[in-house]
Amino acid sequence: MSATTSPTRPRRPMRALLGLAMATGLVVSAVVVGPAAQAADNPYERGPDPTDSSVEAARGPYATSSTNVSSLVVTGFGGGVIYYPTTTSDGTFGAVAISPGFTAYWSSLDWLGPRLASHGFVVFGIETNTTLDQPDSRGRQLLAALDYLVNRSSVRSRVDASRLAVAGHSMGGGGTLEAARTRPALKAAIPLAPWHTTKSWSSLQVPTLIIGGESDSVAAVATHSEPFYNSISAAPEKAYLELNNASHFFPQTSNTPMAKQMISWLKRFVDNDTRYSQFLCPGPGGSAIEEYRNTCPT
């Protein structure tokens, strides 16, 4: 006779078990598993519990400000604009540096600055040394921008230097891959319609979200985003989002599906905030999404 049907082990009434637990103090250890305990486990968690509508909104819960950085006061890149949460009561924030693409300026992506910052990040939209800089140069410039941000910038006291990320469009996306491969201590990388002549990124160890456009005729996903994603084998997590009928220039106008995944990826891996895993695994759907692949963060 199995243990589950044995008449020799009568069940203890639930009321008696509860009384025993209360008498011995066991209830205390059972109930201290709420938001306070979770916050203690993750000191980087910022903002209220997310919902689809909150992550898709044009602005998050934080008020933001910005400051311009002249090329005359920096070394290794061309200056740019820093966006940051104005509050000083939530401690420091993770940060991301973002590079524009070939022939482009930061103004082509500047809608992203306040949008990401309003969710609790310091965002550095950089200008490159020249608009013709190649991906390897843009990768070095992204890292130089992060070094400036945490060591010399006017907002350095707001930045957690241990929680940094990179992103970029087109050749800036190729530069994002270069920066992530060069500096494995980065917490996240997000190449947008990335372009690069190197197709294998097997040594890249940073959690990487690649976002491509189905109709991209400049950096076709079949020869850029998809092989880049497939080659990444050393990163603990990776994801590939392909936007339905999107051209190479989809990052240059406000794009909610792209922003939602960027925010969720940064929250999950820069802030270690597992509340955002719900938006990454199983991932987005709907008419705006052509394809989504991931390794599902745990």
Give the chain's radius of gyration (CA, Å). Answer: 22
Provide the annotated active-site residues: 170, 216, 248
- The 10s digit of each residue's pLDDT in 143-165 is 999 999 999 999 999 999 999 99
Mean pLDDT for the chain overall: 89
The one-character DSSP state at 10 is: P
What pTM does this model have? 0.87
- The 10s digit of each residue's pLDDT in 258-285 is 999 999 999 999 999 999 999 999 999 9
Q: How far apart are CA 83 and CA 117, in angstroms?
A: 6
pLDDT, average across residues 69-80:
98
Write down the pLDDT at residue 8: 37
Q: CA 165 → CA 43, 144, 154, distances in Å?
A: 18, 12, 19
For the sheet with 159-169, list strands across it.
64-69, 80-85, 121-126, 93-99, 159-169, 188-192, 208-213, 238-243, 289-294
Q: CA 230 → CA 18, 201, 203, 204, 224, distances in Å?
A: 53, 9, 12, 12, 10
- In the structure encoding, which two tokens stand for residue 160, read together? 């957690």
pLDDT, average across residues 220-243:
98
Higher pLDDT, 145 or 12: 145
Write down the pLDDT at residue 296: 87
- pLDDT band at 297, cuts 50/70/90? low
DSSP percent split of the chain into helix, strand, coil, nearest 5: 35, 20, 45
- The 10s digit of each residue's pLDDT in 93-120 is 999 999 999 999 999 999 999 999 999 9
Is pLDDT above 50 for 236? yes
Report residue 180: phi and psi, to 5°: -70, -35
Per-domain residue ranges for the chain? 61-294
Is pLDDT above 60 for 211? yes
Region of residue 165 (phi > 0: left; psi between -120 and 50: alpha; otherwise: beta)? beta
Write down the pLDDT at residue 258: 98
> Where would I find the beta strands (DSSP E) of 108-177?
121-126, 159-169
pLDDT, average across residues 80-90:
97
Place domain 61-294 in its CATH homologous superfamily. Alpha/Beta hydrolase fold, catalytic domain (3.40.50.1820)
Write down the pLDDT at residue 41: 78
- The share of the chain scoring above pLDDT 90, in percent, equals 84
- In the structure encoding, which two tokens stand for residue 16, read together? 């008696």
> Where would I find the beta strands (DSSP E) of the chain?
64-69, 80-85, 93-99, 121-126, 159-169, 188-192, 208-213, 238-243, 289-294
Nearest to 189 by CA among 207, 212, 205, 203: 207
- pLDDT band at 298, cuts 50/70/90? low
Q: How far apart are CA 169 and CA 221, in angstroms?
A: 14
Write down the pLDDT at residue 10: 39
DSSP 134-151: -HHHHHHHHHHHHHHHHH
